[in-house]
Amino acid sequence: MKKKLNFIFLFSTPSMTAHAAQPFSLACELHRRGHGVLVANDGKRKGDFASRIEDAGLPRLTGLVLSTKSGPHEALGDAVKLKEVIAREKPDVSVSSYTHDHVLAAIAKSTGKTPRVVRFFNSPEPRLDPLSKLVLGRTDAFFFFSRRYRDNFARALESCAGRLHYLPGPADTGAFCPGPGGLSFREAFGLTDRHLVFGMVLPPHGRESQEAVLSAFATVARKHPAARFMLIGRAEAQKEIETAASGLGVRDRVVVTGLSTTDLTDAYRAMDVFVQLEEGHDNSCRAVVEAMATAVPVVVAERGALAEIVSDGTEGRVVPEKAAATDLAAVLGEMASDPARRREMGDAGRREAVASHSLPEVTDLFLTTVAT
């Protein structure tokens, strides 16, 4: 696309959350391509978003409160200021990520056709209260990381059907790729290249699935002495996981590494199989795509975008959403017993991640949609 467009990205959050990360990565790629990009975030509460905008070299739009903790007076002031920004900057597209900034964008939209108001949705069903319907009516395009959730929306609000678009969740397939580093990551936690490492990024919710995976792993570990389970997650979850692992008799087989984005690529490289049964906050299932991009075979549940990203038997395995621990153990056992198949699935996952989820590919799709 040769025409350069001007964008305003609105994030009513002070911190870089999982939900904000995907639209923000698009903003960075658009800026890199020479499109005009302004980014505004919650300026009322403390967080790391402002510094992340600065570190990315993006122009930050100041003067907006843009906070879910705003009162009516501040929200009205934001609407007025946003109208002024639109009149001054003449953006082609206003991108919203949260309900609060979506409402402001719809209110501030000029009477003409610009800016086009687009919104990333991360919920399985739309809200249909009167205010939501009014805002939805002033929205030009909706983006979903799950075809299933897009279709749910279409059934609930047929008048929006022509404005609903699926967009694959983007990942940095250049950074997340096969390479050295996995062994050193293992060694930092007492593991060697002889261990069979199952890995998982702890979801922000979904304790039930976490317990199911631990139980399934315990069954596999009895048959495979070299099996280990590596969990990437917050330190505060460690005690609970260790207690559960002790109850299953696999405390010495489970490692909790903590959550560090700087080490995440090597963490994936340290894994032989990646397991994820929850979608996470943004529903793009980014961790699964990142693992695939690193050529790690994956095991996911039949829910949301997970089963849309992974084809059962190709990039990995897909288990029922409420799979019993015994059924999950059988799938993990199959993966444990067939290293050649794991390599085939890992290679297929890498190809799929690059072809469908690389940031340049997803940005092209996004631009094609917002420009029409």
Question: Two tokens at 49?
Answer: 């978003």
pLDDT of 207 over the 90 cut: no
Q: At what angle do helices 286-293 and 18-32 cross, to 10 degrees?
A: 60
Predicted local confidence at residue 100, as pLDDT: 93
Predicted local confidence at residue 1, as pLDDT: 52
Predicted local confidence at residue 241, as pLDDT: 84
- Alpha carbon distance 277, 299 (integer Å): 8
- Residue 325's alpha-carbon distances to 86, 215, 245, in angstroms, are 54, 6, 14
pLDDT of 205 over the 60 cut: no
Give the containing element (helix H, strand E) for 200.
strand 196-201
pLDDT tens-digit profile of 57-85?
A: 999 999 999 999 989 999 999 999 999 99
Cβ(120)–Cβ(23) below 8 Å: yes
Q: What percent of the chain has pLDDT over 90?
A: 73
How confident is residue 31, by pLDDT bands cut at 50, 70 and 90?
very high
State whether residue 160 is helix, strand or coil: helix
How confident is residue 208, by pLDDT bands cut at 50, 70 and 90?
low
pLDDT tens-digit profile of 339-356?
A: 999 999 999 999 999 999
**Mean of the per-residue pLDDT values of the chain:** 91
The beta-strand segments (E) located in 268-345 are 273-276, 298-301, 316-319
Predicted local confidence at residue 312, as pLDDT: 97
Residue 298: name the closest of 254, 342, 233 by CA. Answer: 342
Question: Two tokens at 12?
Answer: 């009513």
Q: Decide the pairing of beta strands 316-319 and 254-256.
A: unpaired
- More confident call, 210 vs 46: 46
pLDDT tens-digit profile of 251-303?
A: 999 998 876 655 889 999 999 999 999 887 778 899 999 999 999 999 999 98
Predicted local confidence at residue 261, as pLDDT: 54
Q: At what angle do helices 325-337 and 207-223 cross, to 10 degrees?
A: 50
- Number of Cβ within 10 Å of residue 48's Cβ equals 12
How confident is residue 233, by pLDDT bands cut at 50, 70 and 90?
confident
Give the containing element (helix H, strand E) for 119.
strand 116-121
- Alpha carbon distance 306, 290 (integer Å): 13
Summarize the confidence of residues 127-147 as an average pLDDT: 86
Contacts of 264 (CB under 8 A, 6+ apart): 176, 232, 290
Predicted local confidence at residue 111, as pLDDT: 64
Summarize the confidence of residues 326-337 as an average pLDDT: 96
How confident is residue 123, by pLDDT bands cut at 50, 70 and 90?
confident
Lowest mean pLDDT among 93-107, 122-136, 317-331: 122-136
Summarize the confidence of residues 109-120 as an average pLDDT: 82
pLDDT of 38 over the 90 cut: yes
Q: What percent of the chain has pLDDT over 70?
A: 95
- Give every strand in the sheet of 273-276, ordered side by side: 254-256, 227-232, 196-201, 273-276, 298-301, 316-319
Summarize the confidence of residues 199-203 as an average pLDDT: 83
Predicted local confidence at residue 57, as pLDDT: 97
- Number of Cβ within 10 Å of residue 120's Cβ equals 23
Predicted local confidence at residue 39, as pLDDT: 98
- What value does the CA radius of gyration of the chain take, rounded to a whole number of Å? 22
Q: How big is the CA angle at 139 (ends 121 and 281), to the nearest 5 degrees?
A: 10
Question: Two tokens at 268?
Answer: 């994936």
Predicted local confidence at residue 235, as pLDDT: 60
Give the containing element (helix H, strand E) for 25.
helix 18-32
Q: What domains appear along the chain, each with residue ranges and CATH number?
A: 6-167 (3.40.50.2000), 182-357 (3.40.50.2000)
